[in-house]
Amino acid sequence: MIEQFLQTTLEFFKEIWFQLNSRFDLENTEAFNLLKPYLIQLQDNPLYMGISIAALFLVPYTLIKVRSISKEREHKLDELMEEMEEEEEEYDEDDPRRLRRPESTTENDDDDDTAKPLFGANEVDSSSHGKTLDEDETIITDEELDEFELEPSYESEEASNSEAKEEPVSSLLAESDFDKEMNEFMAEDLDLNEKGEDEDIISQLNLDDTSHDQAIKELQDEGELTELEEEEAIPENDPFSNYSELDEDEQDKAIKDLQDEMERTINQLTQQIEEPNEIPNSMKDMSQIRIGGDATIDQEYSADEEEEEYFLEDSPEPDAKLQEVSSFSEESTPISELSDSEILASLEPELEAEEAEAKSELEVPDTHDYEPEVTSENFTFEPESDIPTNEPVITSESFTFEPESTQSEDTTEQSSYSMEPEEELSSPEKTDSLIDRLKFLQTRFENRYQPLETNSPQTPIAKKTPDYVPESLAEPRRYTRSTASVPPDSKKYMDLLESFIFMKDQKKHK
Amino acid sequence: MTNPINIIAVGGGKGGIGKSVVCTNLAAGMALSGQKVILMDTDFGASNLHALLGITNPAHGFQDFFNAEITDPRTLLLDTGISNLKFVSGAGDNPGSANIDSKNIATIISFIQRLEADTILLDLGPGTNYNVIDFFNISTQGVVMTTPEMTSIMKTFSFIRSALFRRISLAFQDFPEIQKVVDHSNPNDADMESYTTGLLRSKFAEQFPEQTDRLDALINDFTPGLVVNRVRNRKDLMAGENLLKLVKKFLEVEVTYLGYIIESDRVRDSIDEMIPFLIKDPQSKPSENLQQIIGALTNTDLQFVKRDGRIFVSKQVRLSSGWEV
């Protein structure tokens, strides 16, 4: 039965197709020729056919269904709105059960017809509902803001009071009020910053840990990229750029260096993992910056005296700031201070020199890591007046961006493959960067027979292989088509058949 | 008075166009409709009908035709498992056995004509050699098959022409001059200019005017039927119509269009399962097509229905053709 039905359906579709084809000659169109192999495949494979038929019917059906559902809902909403309006009309103006206030109703009186379009009704209603919601939101936000208790926001309170007294106008207005309050609140913060009580505290307050970390991570990524680019740009120092051309000894040496580098990275990584993560990232970073800055200037690079002096002079300031910060995060600061004092106490000039030598021999990246922090410190404190410190993003950017520029210079000088800004990062980022570095080194090791440029996605490795195409195989062969395909209902087809049946000299039958 | 045996030969110039499959199903259908049918595989050298019927290691085959020990031809008839249908296998053919001489052909033909049945169906091999054509010409109803491809159309045309010219040649065996005109098997001794019936008629009119009537009768009596197999669309059907036009134009032969069979996986599946598709699925489209062809061949309207594994046949005899006569 089903089969008969299917066959009848098939016949029906065939008939339609025959009719269309005979009228429009569809089979000779380019589109049909394109589709033909797929159609044949469909015809051959019942699975494909089933899928295509299902798609053919299900997709429009789904669309229609979705539209009908949405229409139904709209209709229901309309009905609901109308019901509500009718109910409201029954209440008195002062009735508390009435959702809409007299003002809003009077405002909408002009438009308030029964034959009003759907969206008009929705707007009115949503405003009336939204109003109450917005009121709640403003109260909540006010409460939330009060929780911070940075400074009593009189204006906001006034605003909320005035709002409570005043009758709500619309959700939009309420929103704008809220924005206004927020702006005022922010303005107060700005004022505070301008007064110069403490820039860092404010900036830290404005910065939550996640945003800070993210900003650092982004910049770290940028730093990595620039570093890699620079590494690729100096192939003469890079033994892997022409690895295959090197002698065996040189190759061994290069591999050994790379392996050492990898070992070092792994050690750092394990150290990093073992290290307890006690301090909140942002606070730890700040503390590390100061410590690192001092240590590097004194020990290894002997930077400009002015800078040294500057940092020595300014070094109490951060401590003071830290103390202030400690009021917000009491647990974290003692550790940072302890580490400060420990390191400062242990850094005697002789030992420092020895350590520096040992470090420079063993751990090139470590000595390098402290260096950028000098500039970061420098930058953070120097341009107080120039840079608006109330914008956390800018400070964070300037905080890490500058060191990288100097850092990249150093990388070119030392031609090391280290990822410098590890020390100034918080431990998770440090770990990430170390992992990245390890990956990078591994890739380098694996691809040592090919320069790094070939690994870039723009230039595939296959390009290096010579493009040898045997000419004899690629030589074009002649093919001239004497006759084109002819539809069987044409006279040409018959002529063609005749031409195939009879020979050239057999023309007597004509 | 006994009815003459209805011999239906299914041929076609091209190989692989479904002659054997259609022949088997025609035989099965006719047998199921109540006729005593013998199906015979005359594709000597490449027989395969027994495989289509699922008969493994047939007891008798092609070589037994020439075995003097077999005196009763009924021993050659194999059971097929289908009621009313017997089968004469061509199995046992060795390499080169297709090239049997005319004497052996005559032996087989006489064997066929001695068989007792309502209908004998001959499955012919491909090509247009006389071993094939002679079997076609002994039929009371020749069925030529084609597929819609141009190559198949061409070959079927050649087959019909060969069959016709062979028929004329056999009819004028005693006229060597006529043989030169109609038998082109020896080009050096033949008049190659008469390659259509029109040219043949004019040649007869010029050289053998007294034989023209006989020639006309032979041509007019030659009315093969046409079945177009593996039809996918109307364009394919048109290919069959083109063949009819071509035959009419150059051979002046009225070919009866018996019907078509659509392209279907069911047919292929039935071959793999060694069951005629008419029995396996009598309500499928190819089976319906085949029922129409059987109806056209037997002047009946047949309808096969399968229920609970059993096949029921309803048969209505067409009387109109009889009154017309």
pLDDT tens digit sequence for A270-311? 777 666 554 444 444 444 444 444 444 444 444 444 444 444
Query: 10 Å Cβ neighbour count for B192?
Result: 13
The fold of the B6-178+214-324 domain, in CATH, is Rossmann fold (3.40.50)
Residue contact B193–A7, C-beta within 8 A: no
Span B96-124, mean pLDDT?
Answer: 86
Q: How would residue A499 be classed by pLDDT, with cut points 50, 70 and 90?
A: confident
Residue A372 maps to a domain:
yes
What is the value of pTM for the model shown?
Answer: 0.46
CA-CA distance, B3 to A187, in Å (whole number)? Answer: 117
Question: Touching check for B48 and chain A: CB below 8 Å?
Answer: no
Mean pLDDT of chain A: 59
Strands (E), B131-269: 141-146, 225-231, 256-262
Say whether residue B234 is in contact with chain A using an 8 A CB cutoff. yes
Winning range, highest mean pLDDT, from A149-163, A456-470, B212-226: B212-226
pLDDT of residue B25: 95
For residue A359, pLDDT over 80 is answered with no
Question: CA A367, CA A363: separation in Å to the nearest integer?
Answer: 7
Residue A108 lies in a domain: no
Q: Is the pLDDT of residue B211 over 70?
A: yes
Contact at CB, A27 and B235, closer than 8 angstroms: yes
Neighbours of A142 (CB within 10 A): 19
Which one of B234, B250, B265 has the shortest CB-CB distance to A18? B234
In whole angstroms, what is the distance from residue B23 CA to residue B8 CA?
A: 9
DSSP lists the bridge partners of residue B316 as: B301
Chain B residue closest to A492 (CA)?
B242
pLDDT digits (tens, 9 = 90+) for B60-82: 887 777 776 666 777 889 999 99
Phi-psi region of B276 (alpha: psi -120 to 50; beta: other; left: phi over 0): beta
Bigger pLDDT: A85 vs A313 = A85
Q: How far apart are CA A344 and CA A116, in angstroms?
A: 78
Q: What is the pLDDT of residue B165?
A: 93
pLDDT score for A163: 44
Q: What three-state secondary structure class fits B2?
A: coil
The verdict on A137 and A277 lying in the same domain is no
Closest partner CB to A4 (pick from B193, B235, B283): B283
For chain B, what are the domain ranges? Answer: 6-178+214-324
Q: Which of A195, A221, A252 is the last residue of a domain?
A: A195
- Tens of pLDDT along B115-132? 889 999 999 999 998 889
**Chain A residues lying within 8 Å of B265, measured CB to CB:** 44
Q: Is residue A163 part of a domain?
A: yes
The residue that leads in pLDDT, A189 or A293, is A189
Which residues are B302's β-sheet partners? B315
Which residue's entry shows tokens 């005196």? B71
Does any domain span residue A119? no
Residues in chain B with CB shorter than 8 Å from the CB of A44 are 265
Please list every residue in chain A whose beta carbon sits closer than 8 Å to the beta carbon of residue B184.
none
Mean pLDDT of B107-113: 86
Question: What pLDDT is attached to residue A100?
Answer: 54
CB B287 within 8 A of CB B311: no
In B, which residues are within 8 Å of A14 by CB distance? Answer: 233-234
Of residues A157, A149, A153, the one with CA closest to residue A187: A153
CB contact under 8 A, B199 and A498: no
Query: What pLDDT is recorded for position A125?
Result: 42
Provide the token pair at A448.
């040592």
Q: If contacts are CB pairs under 8 Å, which of residues 244-273 in chain B contact chain A?
A: 245-246, 250, 265
Picking from A18, A21, A508, the nearest residue to B199 by CB comes out as A508
Question: A472 is written with which tokens?
Answer: 């004899």
A184 with A211, same domain: the answer is no
Q: Which helix (H) or strand (E) holds A181?
A: helix A171-194
In the 8-state DSSP scheme, what is residue A300? I
How far does B234 lie from chain A, in Å, by closest CA? 7
Task: Note the pLDDT of residue A426.
Answer: 54
CB pairs A-B closer than 8 Å: 50
> From the list B195, B242, B283, which residue is nearest A494 (CB)?
B242
- Are A237 and A231 contacting, i.e. CB atoms less than 8 angstroms apart? no
Please, are residues B32 and B311 in contact by the beta-carbon 8 Å criterion?
Answer: yes
pLDDT of residue A265: 82
Contact by Cβ (8 Å): A116, A149: no
Residue A234 shares a structural domain with residue A171:
no
* Chain B residues within 8 A of A489 when measuring between CB atoms: 235, 238
**How do strand B310-317 and strand B141-146 relate by DSSP bridges?**
unpaired
Residues A207 and A284 in one domain: yes
B283 contacts in chain A (CB < 8 Å): 3-4
Region A231-238 average pLDDT: 50
Share of chain B above pLDDT 70, in %: 95
Residue B122 contacts residue B42 (beta carbons within 8 Å): yes
Mean per-residue pLDDT of chain B: 88
Please report which confidence band the pLDDT of residue A223 belongs to, taking 50, 70 and 90 as the band edges: low
Does position A455 have pLDDT exceeding 50, yes or no? Answer: no
Q: What pLDDT does residue A23 have? A: 83
Q: A interface toward B at CB cutoff 8 Å?
A: 3-4, 7, 14, 17-18, 21-22, 27, 44, 487-489, 493-494, 496-498, 500-502, 506, 508-509
Of the pLDDT bands very low, low, confident and very high (cuts 50, 70, 90), residue A452 is very low
pLDDT (average), residues A446-459: 51
β-bridge partners, B228: B146, B260
Asked if B318 is an interface residue toward chain A (Cβ–Cβ < 8 A), one would say: no
Using CA atoms, how far apart are residues B77 and B40, in angstroms rounded to an integer? 9
Name the amino acid, one letter, at A54: A
- Interchain contact, A502 vs B285, CB within 8 Å: no
Asked if A508 and B235 come within 8 Å (Cβ–Cβ), the reply is no
Please report, as a single letter, which amino acid is at residue A238.
D
Contact A107, A120 (CB under 8 A): no
The residue type of B167 is R
Query: For residue A255, what pLDDT is reported?
Result: 81
pLDDT score, position B70: 65
Q: Which residue has the tokens 């394109």?
A: A34
User: In angstroms, rounded to a whole number, what is the distance separating the alpha carbons of residues A374 and B104?
Assistant: 112
Q: Please give the pLDDT value at position A418.
A: 42
Whether residues A177 and A247 fall in one domain: no
A497 → closest Cβ in B153, B234, B283: B153
Residue A109 inside a domain? The answer is: no
pLDDT band with cut points at 50, 70 and 90 for residue A229: very low
Residue A412: inside a domain:
yes
Is the pLDDT score of A3 beyond 70? Answer: yes
Residues in A closer than 8 angstroms to B198, CB to CB, are 509
Cβ–Cβ of A509/B195 closer than 8 Å? yes
Q: Is the ipTM of this complex over 0.85?
A: no
Average pLDDT in the A350-374 region? Answer: 47
Note whether residue A332 is domain-resident: yes
Residues in chain A with CB shorter than 8 Å from the CB of B193 are 508
Least confident piece of the model among A316-330, B93-107, B161-175, B250-264: A316-330
pLDDT for A382-403, tens place per residue? 444 444 444 444 433 334 444 4
Q: How confident is the model at residue A116 (pLDDT cuts 50, 70, 90)?
A: very low
Q: What is the pLDDT of residue A316?
A: 43
Residue A509, in any domain of the structure: no
Which of A3, A14, A17 comes nearest B283 by C-beta? A3
Mean pLDDT for B184-193 is: 79
Higher confidence at residue B238 or residue A252?
A: B238
User: What letter would DSSP give residue A27?
Assistant: G
When comparing pLDDT for A218 and A212, which is higher?
A: A218
Confidence check: pLDDT of B301 > 50: yes
For residue A486, give the chain B residue with the closest CA. Answer: B150
CB B221 within 8 A of CB B195: no
Backbone phi, psi, residue B119, to 5°: -140, 135
More confident residue, B112 or A94: B112
CB-CB under 8 Å, A14 with B158: no
Same domain, yes or no: A252 and A334: yes
| Contacting residues for B321 by C-beta, under 8 A, at least 6 apart | B299
Question: Which residue range forms the structural domain that includes residue A248?
Answer: 201-453
3-state secondary structure of B143: strand
By mean pLDDT, which of A137-141, A238-242, A491-495 is the weakest? A137-141
Res B56: pLDDT = 87
Least confident residue range of A152-156, B108-112, B203-207, B300-304: A152-156
The answer to whether B68 and B57 are in contact (CB under 8 A) is no
The answer to whether B246 and A494 have CB atoms below 8 angstroms apart is yes
Contact B136, B124 (CB under 8 A): yes
Of B30, B32, B87, B54, nearest to B310 by C-alpha is: B32
Q: Which residues of B171-180 are buried (b: 16+ CB within 10 A; e: fewer)?
A: bbeeeeebbb
Is the model more confident about A510 or about B218? B218
| Backbone angle region of B183, left / alpha / beta, with phi > 0 → left and psi within -120 to 50 → alpha | beta
User: Considering its fold, how many domains does chain A have in total?
Assistant: 3
What does the pLDDT read at residue B313? 86
Which residue out of B128, B161, B234 would a mutagenesis test of the A interface target, given it has the greatest number of A Cβ atoms within 10 Å? B234
Could you give the angle at which helices B285-298 and B265-273 cross, rounded to 10 degrees?
A: 80
Beta bridge partners of B315: B302
B154 vs A3, A21, A500: nearest CB: A500
- B303 part of contact set with chain A, CB < 8 Å: no
- B220 or A142, higher pLDDT: B220
| Shared domain check, A225 and A190 | no
Residue B323 has a pLDDT of 55
Do A182 and A236 belong together in one domain? no
Closest residue in A to B149 (Cα–Cα)? A488
With b for 16 or more beta-carbon neighbours within 10 A and e for fewer, the A390-405 pattern comes to: bebeebbebbbbbbbe
B227, B233 Cβ separation under 8 angstroms? no
Stronger pLDDT, B141 or A274, i.e. the higher one: B141
Whether residue A327 is found in the same domain as residue A393: yes
Residue A159 has pLDDT above 70, yes or no: no
Looking at chain B, the number of H-run helices and the number of E-run strands are 13, 10
At A86 the pLDDT is 83
Which chain B residue is nearest to residue A491, measuring alpha carbons? B242
Contact: A508, B193; criterion CB under 8 Å:
yes
User: Is the pLDDT at B204 greater than 60, yes or no?
Assistant: yes
Structure-token pair, residue B164:
């016709």
DSSP B33-85: TT--EEEEE--TTS--HHHHTT--S-SS-GGGGG-TT---GGGGPEE-SSTTE
